[in-house]
Amino acid sequence: MEINADVRPVKGKIIELTERDVKIEFYGRMGMLRVPLRMLICGKRPEIGDEVELKMSYVILKSDGR
Distance separating alpha carbons of residues 14 and 34, to the nearest angstrom: 10
How far is residue 6's CA from residue 66's CA, in Å, rounded to a whole number?
29
Contact of 64 with 14, CB cutoff 8 Å: no
Mean pLDDT of the chain: 91
| Partners of 25 in the β-ladder | 13, 32
Name residue 9's amino acid.
Answer: P
Structure pTM?
Answer: 0.79
Domain boundaries, the chain: 11-54
Tens of pLDDT, residue by residue over 44-57, are 999 999 999 999 88
Distance from chain centroid for Cα 30: 9
